[in-house]
Amino acid sequence: MATATLEKKTSITQTLSDIAEAVERIKNDAPQQFPEAASIGDAVRQGDIYIQLISESDLDTMKYLYNRVDTPVLQLAPGNTKGSRHVLESADGVEMYLPADTDEAVMRYVFAKHGEKLPAKRTNGQFGWSGQYFDERKEVEAALTLAGPIVRLTKPNAVTHPEHGDWKLPCGTYRIVFQRTVDEQERIRRVLD
Amino acid sequence: MARLTQKQKTTVVKVISRWAHTFAGTRPVNMDRIAKLIACAYKGQTYVERTYVGKGEKRKIKRRNRLVGMPTIHEVKSPIAFDIAQAVCRGYLSKSAAENICKQFGMDTSFIANLRRDTLLTIGQRYSRYNWSTSPLLSMWKATIAPAVSDAIRVALDPPDRWSSRNDDDERKTPKRFTASFDVPKMPQNINTYYLQNNTYSQLTQIRQEVRGANALRIIGNFYYNDPANPDLGRLTHVPWSSNADNAMHDRHELADVWGERNNYMDAEILCHLMSVTDLNQTWAYELMHEASNVMTFNRHVLVLADRPTIRTNADGELHCEDGPAVTWADGAKQYYVSGHALGLLGKKIVETPEALTLRDIRDEPNEEIKRLAIEKYGWNRYLAEIGATVLDRRENYVDNTVEALVSIPDNISRRSWDHTRRDYVVNEIRIEKRKLILACRSTGRQYFLAVPDDVRTCEEGQRWMANGANSEHVPAFTRTMRLVGAS
């Protein structure tokens, strides 16, 4: 038993030491280039956000879920902490689409996907028989809570951060996704820093 | 867009420079001038006095316009004191509860004694007053020099994070070229970072409005307090923010509106200078915002926050102090920062008394950066040993070029389940093995401790789970698994 405890301690201590040693060797916040030859689906991570290359045609399939904004908001992650400051270097050549934040938008998407019309609203403003496609709607809503903006770059740009290395992005359409974790109440949420 | 004359440019530069100094906190507090400006604001203001006439079914409300007199000015010394004072004046908090809350923050309570319950007063909407938002000059302003002025403001005050371009004019897209021709004074570095991180009152309310369903007790700016379970503190965080409160609130940060597209007090000041309007009865609104950062108006009282905190920064201009609060207000309220990271509830423990940190403190902290700092102070080895962590998996992450580990931590949790025998829900304590990833950031070298679901078996599985939160089989574009090719 004492040996097992000693082995367990050694293992934790050794692991921590290896982690620290490995990162000290390569620690580097120099700007990096998103590969020009990247395929659709490839992504890079900057801290707690992922920048994924998607197809231009994907936007057309996400009608109702994303809305184009006239003036792009350069900060890609919400929040006013230092860790949230993932910021596009320039608004030049940027088309930005923000995820819809209403249940109605998700309903419209799901019903349209099934080729059905949205149920009529009752006098109290609620949709009639809102139980239809409930599971599918809830899953889409859950996905949207961790989805950041979609940016279509017609000119090369960069995502900057005060602590993590910058990522230079070539022209293309990118989706921002937030890293998730589990809190103490076993709820899934975005990583907060 | 109209071109500016030299006189107009000189006026714009002068006004922007003045606002730059206001934001930078170089202006000393002048309560006499504030009182004078408040007198101008309240001059001729009326409020509706309601009296009840009659009894029973014949009871009626009689309304009468009454002139407000000169209000009593209550000066507070910190944003949290302002928050407490407005809750008392609006009737949501008793004075004893307010004193209790001040003790939580280690603050002086002398400002509470003179506070009185009162009705919010909206100021500045009488037709005879110059009203910026409804003046006929507004259309002319917007059509002519407003865009040029807005760009000059943005360039000078350097708010890069939220600056957005307009697509209809090349000059607006190239701020550097514009600056060179406009000769706008350069602000102190990181001024807007400081402003954001300084948690003025607008940040207190903004944060509270934005967060839904989160633990509101934690959302009191970044002010350290002793007992988060204090019920009075809970009452403070649930004080509603009505449209009346919005109208009665004058906030420098919001009204200067550095990042917005709409007209702001800087535009008003420039226009008044160009038109040679100097009467304080016309210009009190923006003059007051130069002198005080927050003002809330009531029928007979007015709350004023004009004081500036003492701040400590690092070489990069970030709020930072390793042996005490980085931001200290005159009434004792404190805020702790390390390298620009606001530490909130655990600030004092992390910075001043790390020996007081407990496992529960670290476990309950939702912010990963603060958690990381707390674990570092506690000691990684010590922390992992005390929570009983065992290594389940470790690997070299070839995307990050770092080493990471998945650990298992035994824990007891309460789970609610349906008991068919009792035909009721019962709460059982069950033992589970929680999974956490120990990761290192390749940019900063910092180690983090991130939770993943209990069924995760390997580091790779954990990383994949963390990255694919926005996936859904019901949305074609969301079905692609995240294929990481790089990290920073």
For B73-142, the DSSP string reads EEEESSHHHHHHHHHHHTTSS-HHHHHHHHHHTT---TTTTT-----B---S--TTS--TTT-THHHHHH
* Positions of chain B with pLDDT under 50: 1, 125-131, 159-174, 177-178, 180, 190, 192-193, 197-199, 207-218
Identify which has the larger pLDDT, A68 or B412: A68
Burial, B338: exposed, middle or buried (Cβ in 10 Å; 0-12, 13-18, 19+)? Answer: buried
Question: Which pLDDT score is estimated for B414?
Answer: 78
Q: In whole angstroms, give the CA distance from residue B337 to residue B347.
A: 7
Q: The tokens of B482 are what?
A: 């995240």
Q: In whole angstroms, give the CA distance from residue B76 to residue B29.
A: 12
**CA closest to B483 among chain A residues:** A42
Interface touch B483/A184, C-beta < 8 Å: no
Report yes or no: A53 at the B interface, CB cutoff 8 Å: no
What's the pTM? 0.83
Identify which has the larger pLDDT, A127 or A49: A49
Q: How many CB pairs under 8 A join A and B?
A: 235
Q: In whole angstroms, give the CA distance from residue B293 to residue B290.
A: 7
Question: Which pLDDT score is estimated for A131?
Answer: 74
- Write the CA distances from B375 to A84, B89, B362, integer angstroms: 21, 41, 7
Q: Where are the beta strands (DSSP E) in B179-273?
A: 249-251
For residue A50, give the 3-state DSSP assignment: strand
Identify which has the larger pLDDT, B112 or A3: B112
Interface touch A50/B484, C-beta < 8 Å: yes
Q: How confident is the model at residue A172 (pLDDT cuts 50, 70, 90)?
A: very high
Report yes or no: B472 at the A interface, CB cutoff 8 Å: yes
Question: Which pLDDT score is estimated for B173?
Answer: 46
Burial, A25: exposed, middle or buried (Cβ in 10 Å; 0-12, 13-18, 19+)? Answer: exposed
Mean pLDDT of chain A: 86
Q: Which of residues 100-159 of A touch B (CB under 8 A)?
A: 109-110, 113, 136, 139-140, 142-144, 146-147
Q: Is residue A44 scored above 50 in pLDDT? A: yes
Q: How confident is the model at residue A149 (pLDDT cuts 50, 70, 90)?
A: very high
Question: Which pLDDT score is estimated for B388?
Answer: 92
Give the DSSP H/E element, type plus range, for residue A46.
strand A42-46
ipTM of the modeled complex: 0.91
Question: Which pLDDT score is estimated for A127?
Answer: 64
Report yes or no: A69 at the B interface, CB cutoff 8 Å: no
State mean pLDDT over A68-76.
85
Question: Which pLDDT score is estimated for B139?
Answer: 67
Burial state string for B355-368 with b = 16 or more CB within 10 A and e = fewer than 16: eebeeebbebbbbb
pLDDT digits over B243-291, tens only?
Answer: 788 888 888 877 776 655 555 788 888 888 988 988 888 889 889 989 9
Interface touch A45/B467, C-beta < 8 Å: yes
Minimum-distance CB partner of B380 among A8, A16, A71: A16
CB count, 10 Å around CB of A138?
Answer: 12
Minimum-distance CB partner of A54 among B405, B444, B477: B477
Question: Which pLDDT score is estimated for B171?
Answer: 39
CA B309 to chain CA centroid, Å, is 16
Range name among A50-64, A80-94, B188-202, B349-363 with the lowest pLDDT average: B188-202
